[in-house]
Amino acid sequence: MKEPKQLSVSAIESGTVIDHIPAKTLFKVISILGLDHIDSQITFGTNLESKKLGRKAIIKISGKFFEDTDINRIALVAPEAKLNIIREYEVVEKKVVEVPDAIVGIAKCMNPKCITNYEKVTTRFKVVSKKNVALKCHYCEKITNQENLQII
């Protein structure tokens, strides 16, 4: 019997690996981080087996490190994601993505009548649920849940 061919993704010398992304939110994470507009080498895989998530996605970005504001953006659509910071092929730091207590200027209020949707007002939300992300608008007090969440 012939041995199955094993294809593996090469390690990155330095950069960031984002793991434990729910498979269905991979392209949201790519969009949120603007990865579709950068010149760095990016490798991603989706629908990979995961004991925790069932199916997961992973992204490797060579030469790119993220600010906490970017990490907060990831948390909104992939609250269980983990970041591994790589330098000289070694994991030098692990970061767990955490949904912050407040979200400013990242998400859009789902209430069409909210002032933030027709005036130049920065959106502000209080996070009322971190597990299934739910945000309460500072201005109109409407709750925007994960299904209706739009990242701006």
DSSP state of 119: S
Whether the pLDDT of residue 59 is over 90: the answer is yes
Report whether 35 contacts 66 (CB < 8 A): no
Look over the chain and give the mean of its residue pLDDT values, rounded to a whole number.
87
Residue 71 binned pLDDT confidence (cut-offs 50, 70, 90): confident
Residue 78 binned pLDDT confidence (cut-offs 50, 70, 90): confident
Tell me the torsion sign for CA atoms 25, 27, 30, 31.
negative
pLDDT at 119: 93
pLDDT at 58: 92
Whether the pLDDT of residue 17 is over 70: the answer is yes
Give the pTM: 0.77
Strands (E), the chain: 15-22, 42-50, 54-62, 82-87, 90-96, 102-104, 107-108, 124-129, 134-137, 143-145, 150-151
What is d(CA 84, CA 101) in angstroms, rounded to the nearest whole number?
Answer: 23
pLDDT at 7: 55
Q: Which three-class secondary structure state does DSSP give residue 70?
A: helix
Report whether 77 contacts 20 (CB < 8 A): no
Which two tokens mark 118? 């027709």
Q: How many CA atoms lie within 13 A of 53 on its CB side?
A: 21
Residues 6+ apart with CB under 8 A from 56: 19, 20, 21, 22, 23, 46, 48, 49, 50
pLDDT at 127: 93
Residue in the structure block whose two tokens are 């760095």: 40
pLDDT at 9: 62
Over residues 11-19, mean pLDDT: 91
